[in-house]
Amino acid sequence: MTQLLKEYQLLIKEHPTMRAVDAARALKVSEAELLHAQIGQGVTRLDDAQIPTILKGLKRLGYIMALTRNGAVVNEIKGVYDKLYISEHQDRVMGIAINPGGIDMRLFLHNWRSVFIVESEKHSSIQFFDAYGHAVHEVFTTSDTDLNAFLNLRERFKLTEGLEFTVQHDARETEADRQQWHSPSEQQVVAFTQAWSDLNDVHHFPNLLKEFKLARIQALELAGEPWSAEISATVLESVLTQSRDKKIEIMAFVGNAGAVQIYSGPVLNLKQVGPWFNVLDDAFNLHVNTQDVSRAFVVRKPTDNGDTIVSSIEFFDDKNNTVLTLFGRRVEGKTQSTEWQALCDKLISSDREIA
C-alpha cells in the first residue's frame, strides 16, 4: 500500500462525505494521481490511447449521468450518450455529441490524457482527466444503465501493464495571464468593436479574440455597450428564479480545458445550500459555488448572418476564467424569447440604478 493511499484512507475515515476533488486538494495531489493510488481497490485504469473508442462505446450503456465541472460550477445531465462524432483538425482531436435537451457536449480530446473506472456500492463511473490530472468529464451509472455493457467496457479497455503514471506540473496559463499579452491601441479597440458588430455567427467570436489577441474578459471590458455590460456577480439566483417563474427555457454552458457540457430546457427546482446555488431537477442538476463567482456580464452578439442578436450572461471566477454562461434557449434562425431579452435588459438597467 502506498503512502498516498494510507493518507487518503485516514482522511476519508475522518471525513466520510468528502468529495474526491477536495480530498485530492487536501493531500496536495491531483484527482488522477489519487485514483491511480487506488488501482485494484475499486479503481481500474483504462487505455488512454483508446479514449475516442471508449467514448463511442458509451451509447451501449444506455441511460447514464454525464458530469462536467470546473472550480466553481458542476453540470449534471441524465440521458443517453448519443450522436457522438470524432474528428481531427490541425492535429487536434475533437469530439461533439449533438443532443439538445439531452447530453450535448463539445470535447477537446487533444487535452485528455487518462481514464479510470471507479466502482462502488452506490454507483460506478468512468472518469477522464487532462495532463495535469484535473477531471475533464465523468460518466456515472444510474439505475437504468446496462451494467453488463459497463463491465464489458471495463474488460475490453483495462490496462494491465505500463501502469506508470505522472502528471504535468500545473503551470497552465490563466485568463489573467493571457490578459497581459496585448494592450490594444485606441485604434485597435475601434477595429475590434467594429469586427464584433460585423459578426455573422456567434461561434466565430473565439477566433475574433485570437485575431485581436484579447482575453475574453478584456474584450468584454473594452467593447462596452451595446455589446457588453458588467452587472452584479450575485445575479444568478435572480436569473434562474425569473427563468423558472416566467417559464423561460435556458441553455447552461459549463466547461473546462477538455469539455463543454450544455443543458437546454427549463429549470424548476431551485435551492440554496450553504454557498452553493442549485438546480435540482430530475434529469438536470446545476451546482454553483456563488463564493467563487467574482464577475458577471450581459453579452450580446450578432448571429444568423448578422440578422439576429443573441444575449448571454457570462460568469467569471477571480482568475477571470469563464465558469458559467447562460443563454435563452432558441432554435437556430429564430430569435431568443422576448422574456429572456427583457430579463437581460432589466439586469443592465437595475445595475445602473444601483451605481
pLDDT in tens, 99-110: 888 999 999 999
The contacts of residue 66 (CB under 8 Å, 6+ apart) are 76, 77, 78, 79, 81, 103, 105, 137, 138, 139, 140, 261
> Residues of the chain with pLDDT > 90: what percent?
82
SS3 160: coil
- Helix (H) / strand (E) containing 230: strand 228-231
Give SS3 for 240: helix
Average pLDDT over residues 317-331: 95
- At 113, give phi and psi (nearest 5°): -125, -25
Look at residue 99 and give its three-state secondary structure. coil
Report whether pLDDT(214) > 90. Answer: yes
> CB under 8 Å to 96, separation ≥6 — which residues?
84, 85, 87, 105, 106, 107
Whether residue 29 contacts residue 4, with contact meaning beta carbons closer than 8 Å, is answered with yes
Q: Which amino acid is at 26?
A: A
Please determine, for residue 340, whether its predicted confidence score (pLDDT) is greater than 80. Answer: yes
Q: Give the mean model confidence (pLDDT) for residues 81-108.
A: 91
Mean pLDDT (whole number) for 73-93: 92
pLDDT greater than 60 at residue 48: yes
| CA atoms lying within 13 Å on the CB side of residue 341 | 10
**pLDDT at position 169, please?**
76
Average pLDDT over residues 52-77: 96
**pLDDT, position 179:** 47
Q: How many angstroms separate the CA atoms of 170 and 350, rounded?
A: 40
User: Residue 333: left if φ>0, alpha if ψ -120 to 50, beta else—which one?
Assistant: left
Rounded distance between C-alpha atoms, residue 133 and residue 113, angstroms: 8
Residue 286 pLDDT > 60: yes
Helices 216-223 and 205-212: crossing angle in degrees, nearest 10, is 90
pLDDT band at 121 (very low <50, low <70, confident <90, very high): confident
Lowest mean pLDDT among 177-186, 249-258, 346-355: 177-186
Indicate the average pLDDT of the chain.
92
Q: What is the mean pLDDT of residues 6-32?
A: 93
SS3 283: coil
Q: In this model, does residue 176 exceed pLDDT 50?
A: no
Residue 352 has pLDDT above 90, yes or no: no
